[in-house]
Amino acid sequence: MPRFIKCLKRGSDYMILSDSIHGRLTAVVFFSVVSILFACERPSSPSFETEQRYTIPLINNTEYRLLGGSGSIIDTTRTSFRDRFDTNNETGIVFLGFEADMPFGSFNDVLSDFQLEPSGGSFTPEDMAQTTSEGIVIYGSFSSRINRQNFEYSSPEDFVEVEKATLVFDNITNETGISIDRLQLSFPTIFGLDAAGNLVPSDTLVIERSGADLAAGTFTESFANVRILAENNEIPVNVLVELSEGSSPPTGGAFSLMMTSEAFKPVAARGIIKPTIRALSNDGSSSEDEPLDVTDPKRHFESLFSDLDLLSVRFRGITFTDASLELEYTTSLGIGTMVYSLVMGRNDDGEEFFLSGIPGSPYYVSPQDTVDGFLYNGTQVPQETLLRFPTEPDDGTDIKQDIHRFTGDNSNVNEFLSKYPTEVFVVSKVVSNPLEEPGFVELPVDFDVLWRVNIPFSMVTEDQPATFDDLIEISLSQLPDRRDDAYISEAVFTLVYQNRLPLDVDVRLTFLDAIEDSITILPFEPSERIRMLSAPVGPAGFSSEVRTETVQFTLNEQQLEELNRSEFIALDGELITTDFRPVNLRGSDFLNIDLRSNFTIRLKVD
């Protein structure tokens, strides 16, 4: 390794001046120094000591820029950080932004299966029998009501579209004394749909059975892909009973039947969907309201915030003051909902914590809210731990997209993100159409959620300082120790720093051997640190200029004896906001450190 060395004689003192390589100590070979000493001057006395002074750069003008390439506090050239950081063009403040998908479960069960209430009637020939060209016909009608627990028609245009349905007719009796040739049941408000799902006005549901089919007193009829209109929740049914040809008009008795249904499978509806509470599950289904444990992997949804893990490697102890977490959702649901969620973050230290609304905000869940049953490790959490947000209905013209922005004004998001959650777990319950307003639903329901994290570097260190660290390679292995004739009699370290960060920086320098075991620490007392003062801070919280200062300290005898084993310097830094006031960081803010050691070496010559 090339080195330029020369002797300067000053009485009995010698100084060696040398160049260096940036970021790494260029070792001075002690035995070469001895040779130069003898080449420069040979003392005549048989026993004496010579003294030599020289300077070694340990940390050579190393700049820790907030954002930048290798060596920056945050290396934005790393693939994991690329395109994650940006700068506000107006203020210059740096912010971290990224997105994370959030599975949320299915809303398809918002349309529950429904049934018809039992209906039917008895039709007497005295009132309804007529003689026609086909013979004697009995006419009648009745209406069937839709179960109001699930759905209610609010106008004549409201409807339910059914993928599959089955009507059950039983208790069929004929007491007229005349056999029946044909039974016809027509439903003027149940329309067929074409292949494209459009209503066909001329195609209404008609069911026919022969007299022989009625002998058992019961039958069923299944159909699919129909639209049911039911003003006032009633479905009219027209009955036609055709008696055997040539029969005389009946003089008594009646024809009777009852109609019920198996479960109708709705695929679309317009009207008032009755409020229900559904617990969402990560298998894509939902179920009736039931307890949900956020720690149960069979029930919770998981989202990864891995970018925060990378940031936490450089910073710890920071409390962000202007962070936000956006929940962007898209939905095709034509009714409003209220979503109640237990949102738990977990960081790499295993700490678990919750995102909650604050009192007075629309995201706050009060003890008076009726939705409960959210658990953490089997124990129900207080309502105030939850988070809620509404979803607005799609207006039918396009997929509805909206954003809920959780900030420090409406939630504890600053505290939540300041703990660097790398995993986020969510369990949710959905109250569908809580205001019982008319709307529409068409299955399958599209409902997608995206988390968008935005963290401006506006921060304060409240309870503890933020931390960062670095490992710098050096080599002091060729310095003498007490076993040599030469020894270090004094070592003065000079630290010159330039600080553009709006933060005090307290550092500890640990000298490490080849296997990175500690040799000595500067300052010598483990509880102490070297304070590098903050740059001056303006009213807006940004640094206004660079602060340049010099700090010197001297090693004690014990430290000097072990110094030659040093191969690395571990820099352990703490970032502190002055007077714990919030500050803002620019991408161009930096800390520059230059550390040099001035050694005095004495040589015994016998």
| Residue 107, pLDDT score | 82
**Token pair belonging to 539:** 């009213």
d(CA 562, CA 513): 10
d(CA 561, CA 542): 44
User: Looking at 120-124, 194-198, 344-348, which range is the least confident one?
Assistant: 194-198
Residue 297 in this model has a pLDDT that exceeds 70: yes
Q: Is the peptide bond before 444 cis (omega within 30 degrees of 0)?
A: yes
Across the range 349-361, mean pLDDT stands at 95
User: Looking at 28-37, 77-86, 429-438, 496-505, which range is the least confident one?
Assistant: 28-37
User: Looking at 12-21, 209-218, 262-271, 302-311, which range is the least confident one?
Assistant: 12-21
d(CA 562, CA 555): 11
Report residue 546: phi and psi, to 5°: -90, 135
Report residue 442: phi and psi, to 5°: -130, 125
Q: Is 251 left (phi over 0), alpha (psi -120 to 50) or beta?
A: alpha
Alpha-carbon separation of residue 338 from 277, 364, 365, 390, 393 (angstroms): 10, 12, 11, 4, 11
Across the range 127-140, mean pLDDT stands at 71
d(CA 384, CA 577): 31
**Token pair belonging to 39:** 């080449």
Burial classification of residue 459, based on how many CB atoms lie within 10 Å of its CB (0-12 exposed, 13-18 middle, 19 or more buried): buried
| Residue 34, pLDDT score | 38
Split at pLDDT 50, 70, 90, the class of 132 is low
Residue 83 in this model has a pLDDT that exceeds 80: no
**Token pair belonging to 376:** 């953490």
Residue 71 in this model has a pLDDT that exceeds 80: no
Choose between 469 and 434: higher pLDDT: 434
How many other CB atoms sit within 10 Å of the CB of residue 153? 23
How many other CB atoms sit within 10 Å of the CB of residue 328? 16
Choose between 519 and 48: higher pLDDT: 519
| Residue 476, pLDDT score | 83
**Token pair belonging to 68:** 């930048």
Across the range 130-149, mean pLDDT stands at 79
Choose between 552 and 527: higher pLDDT: 552
**Percent with pLDDT over 90 in the chain:** 38
Beta strands at 48-65 and 13-16: parallel, antiparallel or unpaired: parallel
Burial classification of residue 543, based on how many CB atoms lie within 10 Å of its CB (0-12 exposed, 13-18 middle, 19 or more buried): buried
Q: Would you say 255 and 175 are in contact if contact means Cβ atoms under 8 Å apart?
A: yes
DSSP assignment of 556-567:
-HHHHHHGGG--
How many other CB atoms sit within 10 Å of the CB of residue 558? 10
**Token pair belonging to 379:** 């124990």
**Token pair belonging to 523:** 């300052």
Q: Is residue 34 classed as helix, strand or coil in its secondary structure?
A: helix
Q: Would you say 93 and 589 are in contact if contact means Cβ atoms under 8 Å apart?
A: no
Distant-in-sequence contacts of 218-221, Cβ < 8 A, 24+ apart: 218/168, 218/169, 218/170, 218/171, 218/172, 219/169, 219/172, 220/166, 220/167, 220/168, 220/169, 221/166, 221/167, 221/169
Residue 440 in this model has a pLDDT that exceeds 60: yes
Q: Is residue 212 classed as helix, strand or coil in its secondary structure?
A: helix
| Residue 193, pLDDT score | 87
| Residue 36, pLDDT score | 38
Residue 241 in this model has a pLDDT that exceeds 50: yes
How many other CB atoms sit within 10 Å of the CB of residue 591? 24
Of the candidates 455, 314, 335, 309, the residue with the CA atom closest to the CA atom of residue 391: 335
Across the range 309-329, mean pLDDT stands at 80
- Total count of residues recorded for the chain: 606
How many other CB atoms sit within 10 Å of the CB of residue 564? 17
pTM of the model: 0.73
d(CA 342, CA 339): 10
Residue 168 in this model has a pLDDT that exceeds 70: yes
| Residue 128, pLDDT score | 66
Beta strands at 85-87 and 94-102: parallel, antiparallel or unpaired: antiparallel
d(CA 124, CA 443): 44
| Residue 133, pLDDT score | 60
Of the candidates 472, 553, 467, 469, the residue with the CA atom closest to the CA atom of residue 503: 467
Q: Would you say 379 and 311 are in contact if contact means Cβ atoms under 8 Å apart?
A: no
Residue 327 in this model has a pLDDT that exceeds 70: yes
| Residue 292, pLDDT score | 92
Half-sphere exposure of 582 (CA within 13 A, CB side): 12
| Residue 497, pLDDT score | 96
- Per-residue pLDDT reduced to its tens digit, 173-195: 988 888 888 999 999 999 998 87
- Per-residue pLDDT reduced to its tens digit, 101-131: 887 777 888 888 888 999 999 988 776 667 6
Split at pLDDT 50, 70, 90, the class of 26 is very low
d(CA 526, CA 523): 7
Choose between 418 and 125: higher pLDDT: 418
Across the range 280-293, mean pLDDT stands at 72
Q: Would you say 422 and 350 are in contact if contact means Cβ atoms under 8 Å apart?
A: no
Q: Would you say 325 and 403 are in contact if contact means Cβ atoms under 8 Å apart?
A: no
| Residue 24, pLDDT score | 37
Q: Would you say 64 and 73 are in contact if contact means Cβ atoms under 8 Å apart?
A: yes
> What type of residue is 565?
R
What is the overall mean pLDDT for the chain? Answer: 82
Of the candidates 255, 231, 229, the residue with the CA atom closest to the CA atom of residue 241: 255
How many other CB atoms sit within 10 Å of the CB of residue 299? 21
- Per-residue pLDDT reduced to its tens digit, 471-514: 899 888 778 866 677 888 888 999 999 999 998 999 999 999 99
| Residue 148, pLDDT score | 67
| Residue 376, pLDDT score | 97
Between CA 157 and CA 163, with CA 158 as vertex, the angle to 5 degrees is 125
Residue 47 in this model has a pLDDT that exceeds 60: yes
Across the range 579-605, mean pLDDT stands at 85
Residue 256 in this model has a pLDDT that exceeds 70: yes
Dmax (CA) of the chain: 157
Residue 198 in this model has a pLDDT that exceeds 60: yes
Split at pLDDT 50, 70, 90, the class of 539 is confident
Of the candidates 468, 95, 453, 422, the residue with the CA atom closest to the CA atom of residue 317: 468
**Token pair belonging to 131:** 């003689």
| Residue 109, pLDDT score | 81
Residue 37 in this model has a pLDDT that exceeds 50: no
Residue 69 in this model has a pLDDT that exceeds 70: no
d(CA 507, CA 98): 31
Q: Characterize 477-515 residue by residue with b for buried, 16 or more Cβ atoms within 10 angstroms of its Cβ, and e for exposed.
A: eebbeeeeebbbeebebebbbbbbbbbbbbbbbbbbeee
Residue 7 in this model has a pLDDT that exceeds 90: no
Choose between 536 and 395: higher pLDDT: 536
**Percent with pLDDT over 70 in the chain:** 80
Query: Can you point out the beta strands (E) in 158-300?
Result: 159-174, 180-193, 199-210, 219-223, 226-228, 234-243, 255-261, 265-273, 276-280, 286-288, 292-293
Which residues share a beta bridge with 37?
Answer: none
